[in-house]
Structure 1
């Protein structure tokens, strides 16, 4: 039997990846999200913004003071890279 790769999903309330323990969304999660939401970048932005809000709320519930700017970079800062059009190789 061939083992399937484990998905990189968030573990709440810490918002760490269940698979690699990196802050979620980790690199593999970002790639999976960009693939899943391909052509629907606005929906991806809404999903990540909602996830960021939940992560901020969870941090406050844990008694922490989250760095909102860092959270924004972590959850939404990479979206412009996911939206870049492919280069056709033409000049």
Structure 2
């Protein structure tokens, strides 16, 4: 996990997907199998599992499991933008 956090910081991001991916890559490079604590996403059409291939859990299901927070911001006002359409640039003739 620490290797994943360090890699994400080096990339300039705080994305949990990047941290998870980089942590898994570091664990595999050390010869350890990464531990997955979340249940893997159920594919639309199940494919037979090949024991030779590494098992991958998709993080998209994790994001979709949480609803987005309610947006309480007011709707934008467009009157100021209409005024900008009528302004001319100083350097135009």
TM-score range for the pair, normalised by the shorter chain length: under 0.3
* TM-score, length of structure 2 as denominator length: 0.24
* TM-score, length of structure 1 as denominator length: 0.24
Q: Between Structure 1 and Structure 2, whose CA radius of gyration is higher?
A: 2
Higher helix share: 1
Q: Which has the higher contact order (CA 8 A, sep 6+)?
A: 1
